[in-house]
Amino acid sequence: MRPKIKRHICPDHWPKFSLFKPNGMPASELTKVKIENDEFEAVRLVDIEGLSQQDAALQMQISRQTFANILKAARKKITSALVNGEALVLR
């Protein structure tokens, strides 16, 4: 397995909260889905900042293909949490 290339992540936009969960359910009873820092940053850059994947990849200092893979994994985790009532844990 190849070593992970360091990704540039802007700490100014990291959320104030580290856990999002469905109402009325104790976190201890929920399956937890962990969103990595680079996954959060990828979603933020494309879906909130409106950058293209190419521009977002340049900002994170990674290839566009690596960025696309990170974004796909993040969106799958977020969708799974929403559809299945799981807790999202931000690392």
In this structure, is residue 23 part of a structural domain? Answer: no
Domain that holds residue 47: 31-90
Helix (H) or strand (E) holding 56: helix 53-60
CATH number for position 83: 1.10.10.10
Q: What is the pLDDT of residue 9?
A: 77
Spell out the SS3 assignment of 33-63. EEECHHHHHHHHHHHHCCCCHHHHHHHHCCC
In this structure, is residue 39 part of a structural domain? Answer: yes
pTM of the model: 0.87
In this structure, is residue 43 part of a structural domain? Answer: yes
In this structure, is residue 67 part of a structural domain? Answer: yes
> What is the average pLDDT score of the chain?
92
Q: What is the pLDDT of residue 66?
A: 95
Q: What is the pLDDT of residue 18?
A: 92
- Which regions of the chain are under pLDDT 70? 1-2
C-alpha dist (Å) from residue 27 to 19, 40, 47, 88: 9, 20, 27, 10
> Which structure tokens are listed for 5?
């290339």
